[in-house]
Structure 1
Amino acid sequence: MTRKLITLKSVILIILFSMNGCADSETITGYWTGVIEMNNKKVDLVLNLSSERQTFSSYDLMLINQPISDLKITNTNISFSLLLDIELYFKGELNNNQINGTVEMQNGPPNMNMTFNLTKQPKTPDKPYSVENLTIKSKDVVLVADYYKQKANGKFPAIVLLHGSSTNLKSDYLYDADYFAKQGFEVLIFDKRGNGESTGEYFTSNYEDIIEDAIACLEILYKRESVDKMKIGLWGYSQGAMLLPRIASKSNIPKFLIAKSPEVINVTEAAAYSDSSRVVNSGNSNSNGHIAANSHREVEKLINNGANYKEVENFIQQNALKYSFMNQTGLYSGLNINKNEFDGFYWKGRTENFYSFWKEIRIPTLVLLGGRDDLVNTEKNKLLLNNLNNEYLEIVDFPLANHHLKKTFNPTMDSEFDFPRLIEGYTENVEEWIEKEITKR
């Protein structure tokens, strides 16, 4: 019965993907490549339309195998939507294995001229890796992971990818996993505890729990026969990047680190910087920005001095009543602190300082920073790291990049539009460093 239902579903999908009244060469099912263009700026676009799933990818936008929605086909007309930071609506016409059309942006200007074109390819390209599903025991939780295994024989460098504080699913790192796998790495990505398919509670966990999860993943790599044990490393983004040196202090498995947009002191300083910037950028004075920053430092001081969750909550609410602009920050007047989460990384974790661990790093470490990062203070962090005079640290700063290391377009600063693409020079710098510090070892 199950097999019959699956077969029937496949037949229905194939029928839906077939162009009514069109020749076989104009069937929509298949692998399509092309570009999106606006104001002479282009980014790549890939559609993979099969009877089982319909996805889009854009390596320029750092997106892999993201779902398409609202796919509709009528005669030679095709439309679909892509949900990025905003929703894009595509309308095109199929003709001789080509699709050409226009793109509208959710709440975008009516005179916006964005187009796309796609060409059907003979087949879906082969990948040098396969993906294996794993479950990993880490103390009291089970982590669900994907393991990117090289198809070739031999021993390969390997890397665990660690999340930011709000990007907690393995699906958030498909681009990065694909990128490193294509560079010849075996890669492990996982749903963070309490997220996706992994068990546990996220917001009641502390940094020690998150670190133990990373070490459990490292130990899995260490046991794989296809992994070169002298070339196992960690890549971390944001929160994951901040934790890298502390993880390296607790395990001798990692032999290299790649830190993308780390805060090098603690979460308090990241929150102080991002909220003060938000207050000033919304039209408030610099002095109000300082108050916003110092409010976060006062919260840290209260916690350090043993204040309980109600005392911290009361300070935040009273402070927001005193300074109305605090409602534009993470310390707003309606905030209520969950008692069970107070001991976790979000509150008591603010008191943990990671700076000294950066000084103690004794393995090659690449630090990648964006000059337009609105979540961490790049200039301050770069100065602090340089002051350590640690020969194992290599720092690369991309002046036009944001926290994701994507190019940002700011109409007040930039003379021409561009898409939020991967910042120029990222792949070249990473690959050059990999060749120097990992491949040749």
Structure 2
Amino acid sequence: MEFIEIICSFLPFSVIRINMFRKVFLYFAIFQSFLLAASFSEDQTAENKNFILGTWISSLETQGTKTSNLDLVVTLDEKNRLISRCSLKEHGIKDLPLDLVLTKNSLRFENESLGLHFDGCFNELKNEITGTFYQNENNHTLTLKKRSKLFRPQEPKAPYPYRVENIQYENTFAKVTLAGTLTCPLTDKKCPAVLLIAGSGPNDRDETVFGHKPFFLLADYLTRNGIVVLRVDKRGVASSTGHYESATGLDFADDVQAGVEYLKNRSEVNSKQIGLIGHSEGGLIAPMVASKSKDVAFIILMAGPAITGEELLYEQTQAILQAKGVGLSEREMQRNLQEKLFSIIKEEDDPRIAEIELRKVLERYLNEFPNEKRNALRVIYETQIDRINSNWFRYFLTYDPKTALKQIKIPFLALNGELDLQVSSKQNLPLIAKALKKACNKDYQVIEFPKVNHLFQTALTGSIEEYSQIEETLSPLVLKTISDWICERFKASSETSK
């Protein structure tokens, strides 16, 4: 979802090292996050897969230390195959692949190349799996417990006072079919419309994260207030075709433009009143599209950046580590490592050569650790190299959003939360305003919401750990602000939101 994925790419470097300085040996728990993209043995039927579906929490006990809060979410894809996503929030790690084999009474997952696997058995109620986790020569007790459904009181419930349609449209240039949901007010009048643009990561149309569905809620609220809303699975995700892993910000911008073209041809939509709402990285893409298209009538950024990806990563990593109580010297070490890695990506265009250089830097870093810790850390770093050497990351690292922002003259609303540790409101909102002023934009507004985090939840600290713990999906004030801003500028059949 959003820039969480990129923060997580670098948090392990510092978190593990800091724990070692403090003699807190929690790094074994990190290996459990290799539970993301599980495959499934073909002899299993849909019926006996059902008990594994849902959210599981693991606790790894080693040397008297228990580390928990590892969430494993298991679902079925459209071909009835198991898909799992894992988040270890304390260590900021996710999206690491593992093969999974499920039988009636047991579960095995493994990553042969990294030398790790787990063998466990279900209890009689099938709500707990107990077994042994192996990492090379080490083995530890691991327990996975099924968690009851998260309470998300704002999630919309049918019947809806508007029309819902599952749709598809083409990005003909990329030969990609994008699938999404269109919600339309029950009126014969043409309505303003918005296309929702998700943040970084393989997001579905609801921008599902930690059991929350913020785009589902936002679409519901706006449609109740007379606005057509289109929300879409990213290319290569869920029901959309294409390849997510090889796409860059430019590719996602092309997909958004295809969505604008689709809305222009819908009879329910006023083609002169089509806007973009982008969250996090989506807030980077929206101005890219609008700066090149005369069909976009307005923009709303939700935690959109105004600085390069490199600057953003430095800032957000430091903010998150400081919020965790990490000292200045450790934070400086983290910054130094990031600078070395980023320099390689910026200076070496050949990914094969860059990979060699990245490995050299990380190997020098690893040499500072004892042998038994070095091997454990190497497993983690292997997963980071491909991520920071990807096409997406290379583009994200150097692209400056101000290039597009300085060209935007259409109505513009920039929102951010005071407690956003991923896209700092203090750093980015003034730069957005400055760029729009330079563009001679006569209708722009920037708003910082107090006590609101990166997901626009009312929060206490803004930490990533809070995201799943907070029951609120989106602040009611944020929802009202967005809806009112659109309705004030464009004719919409407003209805009191339920």
TM (norm. structure 2) is 0.57
Q: Which moved more, 1:346-355 or 1:302-311?
A: 302-311
Partner of 2:167: 133
Deviations 1:95-131 (A, max 9, x none): xxxxxxxxxx8xxxxxxxx9x9xxxxxx965512232
Give secondary structure in 2 for the equivalent of 1:333: helix
Q: CA deviation at 1:411?
A: 11
Q: Indicate conservation of the 8 Å contact 2:166/2:179, yes or no.
A: no
Letter aligned with residue 235 of structure 1: I
1:401 is the counterpart of 2:447: no
Q: CA deviation at 1:294?
A: 4.8
Give secondary structure in 2 for the equivalent of 1:148: strand
Partner of 1:429: 481
CA distance in 2, matches of 1:310, 1:418: 39
Assess, with a 3 A threshold, how the Cα gap between structure 1 residues 156 and 406 changes in structure 2: closer, same or farther. same
Partner of 1:74: none
1:272 is the counterpart of 2:319: no
- Choose 1 or 2 for highest CA Rg: 1
CA distance in 2, matches of 1:423, 1:166: 23
- Structure 2 residue corresponding to 1:321, chosen from 366, 378, 381: 366
Mapping 1:4-403, distance limit 5 Å: 89=148, 125-138=159-172, 139-166=174-201, 168-172=203-207, 173-308=215-350, 309-314=354-359, 317-318=362-363, 320-321=365-366, 333-338=381-386, 342-388=389-435, 390=437, 391=441, 392-403=443-454
Partner of 2:23: none
Q: Indicate conservation of the 8 Å contact 2:412/2:444, yes or no.
A: yes
Assess, with a 3 A threshold, how the Cα gap between structure 1 residues 355 and 332 changes in structure 2: closer, same or farther. farther
Runs of at least 5 residues in structure 2 that lack an aligned partner in the other structure: 1-126, 128-144, 208-214, 464-468, 493-498
CA distance in 1, matches of 2:453, 2:256: 26
Assess, with a 3 A threshold, how the Cα gap between structure 1 residues 431 and 146 changes in structure 2: closer, same or farther. closer
Q: Indicate conservation of the 8 Å contact 1:271/1:293, yes or no.
A: no
Assess, with a 3 A threshold, how the Cα gap between structure 1 residues 316 and 423 changes in structure 2: closer, same or farther. farther
Q: CA deviation at 1:244?
A: 1.3
Deviations 1:16-47 (A, max 9, x none): xxxxxxxxxxxxxxxxxxxxxxxxxxxxxxxx
CA distance in 1, matches of 2:320, 2:168: 41
CA distance in 2, matches of 1:209, 1:232: 20
Assess, with a 3 A threshold, how the Cα gap between structure 1 residues 337 and 411 changes in structure 2: closer, same or farther. closer
Give secondary structure in 2 for the equivalent of 1:404: coil
CA distance in 1, matches of 2:232, 2:433: 32
CA distance in 2, matches of 1:182, 1:411: 29
Give secondary structure in 2 for the equivalent of 1:244: helix
Give secondary structure in 1 for the equivalent of 2:230: strand
Letter aligned with residue 277 of structure 1: A
Give secondary structure in 1 for the equivalent of 2:393: coil
| Matched positions, count | 321
Assess, with a 3 A threshold, how the Cα gap between structure 1 residues 343 and 373 changes in structure 2: closer, same or farther. same
Q: Indicate conservation of the 8 Å contact 1:272/1:292, yes or no.
A: no
Once superposed, what is the RMSD of the aligned Cα atoms? 3.6
TM (norm. structure 1) is 0.64
CA distance in 2, matches of 1:323, 1:382: 40
State percent identity of aligned pairs: 23
Q: Indicate conservation of the 8 Å contact 2:249/2:392, yes or no.
A: yes
Give secondary structure in 1 for the equivalent of 2:385: coil
Q: CA deviation at 1:154?
A: 1.7
Letter aligned with residue 217 of structure 2: Y
Letter aligned with residue 155 of structure 1: K
Give secondary structure in 2 for the equivalent of 1:407: coil
Assess, with a 3 A threshold, how the Cα gap between structure 1 residues 243 and 316 changes in structure 2: closer, same or farther. farther
Q: Indicate conservation of the 8 Å contact 2:162/2:183, yes or no.
A: no
